[in-house]
Structure 1
């Protein structure tokens, strides 16, 4: 277990249960960033002459880690940029399906455009609600979070794949920001059309970098409008009108995207199966503790699938009590959000529950 915690100095200072808000910066990523900017300081444009090779390595690393060919990987600064660019590529009007109460960066951009919108409710019957909404409304696209940001409700990847087979004409657009990095994810086997993700949470890659994974069938169904000199730069963007290039119109930041490659290689070294096993262990341990203490919503308890992100009952008093004990959490919705990644321990969950009991 100590090996999983190496390289995260903040864990010596805090009981950090807040990856769902901001992931930790690994020492290896920090060292890369220092060395990168030192190179830029002393070599300026000579470093930037290597930009194409650096970004190609990042793109190919992302593709390898998630099983998506590199020419179907776009590098974007964050989820919101990528998603808005994607939406602008739809001919309007289109019919959209959303989850009611999903992450604002999904629902707000859709609502701000001229789409006809339908909703599926997030409750104990979430999967049935989605299937019913798809059947009745036949939307052109379904945009959703794989893991809900407030309470950690999770859609099973196999269910999403089965649903895509049932409704092949609907584009499935998934936000992986609260999910990717917690378990093995084979994009090409899922059938999902598009996955977009920021990487500062569970992938521990810092801010200012993200990516989009595309199914081969997406090109031709969406026509993004963004273009710029950067749209033609690099191994996979060699011609004007290149689909990938329309998501990368400007100069790309080798510092931030390079950080993503280093973070993914660290996860590869640790082993994604090992990470997944530890996350499952923590999730199940926390679930049992929270259920016994009556800290979870009733419908959450009735679901079979959940993430390692939970929203427990608590108010300002409890939140500040935890912070005074150096237990780092977030206030979300009507409770307190706690989240556990592979570097956390069951002892830390015990520490959290004991602190909660002090205010019950």
Structure 2
């Protein structure tokens, strides 16, 4: 596949510079078509077989399992959001007074509030590992600080593969080794990495991986995925819906109430997980993501952004070291002399879409972007610095 020609799969006008997949991905044409066909299908529900509420969901789990290198698709649950998946994890963890839960500074709220509630409940402690203030080797030093923070008091380490604003890359392999040494759980939020950055459950063996589905996995807003490892095999779900009980696919027997859940992660699926509109869109999206491969996406994004990164640094922007950040998503801090309001107006005028997150302007790209998109962003910045 010629990875440079993927813009044809999308319906993005030529005058639009969209560098904001980290916020919300555009649907590609095949996903849009699948969604429309499913909506039309709902107009004639008598043509929808009951198997459509089960078989496509199984196929969806298989595809996500393939993407993250999981042998058993029954360890995958379809969920509506990251907060749902993290809350499920937190519900099935008991702490002792004095235990710590390690988080990163300015972690995304969906991977913070459940841990705050859990530690408050058990009189345990949140240990927030702050990003170093230094401009050089910040992510490298941050990784070292994370490893230092994990000790015998650590019960859980909950974090992303990368930082959602700066793109700082975390050494999950080293962190996982340290959590094993101290018998701590490792919970990963893959929302800003899975699909665009290689991730292997087989290699890292996290206890859980939670992902939003509407960013780098190109699904509709309101879908997500979760992998639950052996620690959670016998836990309690957030909700008691009919589909997470044993033999729920036998519709005539639904009132023969079951005391047993389905095995493994199936107990954690959300109600109405068989939403055929969403599932059809998700299936189409994951098929393409698997075909692209996260490795190829990462390499392409690195290639088209390299010149702009150098130009931005020359203009005085602070960007993490290339070896310690992702290339599909990275943040930059502007020189102090740049007026943010003026710069935002320049971006809007030239149809350049990015995110402002904390101290960072976050740029996120994919296969519909080109080097010209980054050049356009750089030119907007130059125009307000003259």
Instruction: Work out whether the TM-score is over 0.5.
Output: yes
- CA distance, structure 2, for counterparts of residue 110 and residue 157 of structure 1: 20
User: Which of 98, 101, 104 is 1:99 aligned to?
Assistant: 104
State the partner residue of 2:202.
188
Question: CA RMSD for the aligned pairs?
Answer: 2.4
Q: List alignment gaps of at least 5 residues for structure 1.
A: none
State the partner residue of 2:85.
82
Note the 1:153-192 alignment, pairs <5 A.
153-167=168-182, 169-192=183-206
SS in 2 for 1:9: coil
State the partner residue of 1:226.
239
- Is the 1:18–1:329 contact (alpha carbons within 8 Å) kept by the matching residues of 2? yes
The number of residue pairs the alignment matches comes to 352
State the partner residue of 2:227.
213
- CA distance, structure 1, for counterparts of residue 117 and residue 203 of structure 2: 32
Give the drift of 1:201: 1.0
1:262 equivalent to 2:271? Answer no
Q: 1:270 to 1:234 in 2, by over 3 A?
A: farther
Q: List alignment gaps of at least 5 residues for structure 2.
A: 133-137, 251-257
**After the TM superposition, which of the residue ranges 105-114 and 40-49 deviates more from structure 2?**
40-49
**After the TM superposition, which of the residue ranges 208-217 and 151-160 deviates more from structure 2?**
151-160
Q: 1:349 to 1:83 in 2, by over 3 A?
A: same
**After the TM superposition, which of the residue ranges 141-150 and 110-119 deviates more from structure 2?**
110-119
- CA distance, structure 2, for counterparts of residue 132 and residue 327 of structure 1: 40
Deviations 1:242-299 (A, max 9, x none): 44233225222222133222111012233443223202323544432222221116xx
TM-score, normalised with respect to structure 2: 0.84
Give the drift of 1:152: 1.4
State the partner residue of 2:355.
330
Note the 1:123-134 alignment, pairs <5 A.
123=132, 124=138, 125-134=141-150
- CA distance, structure 1, for counterparts of residue 224 and residue 284 of structure 2: 13
Give the drift of 1:214: 2.3
1:118 equivalent to 2:127? Answer yes
**Larger Rg belongs to:** 2
- CA distance, structure 2, for counterparts of residue 197 and residue 286 of structure 1: 29
TM-score, normalised with respect to structure 1: 0.89
SS in 2 for 1:50: helix
User: Which of 266, 270, 284 is 1:245 aligned to?
Assistant: 266
State the partner residue of 1:310.
330
- CA distance, structure 2, for counterparts of residue 267 and residue 225 of structure 1: 29
User: Which of 146, 159, 163 is 2:161 aligned to?
Assistant: 146
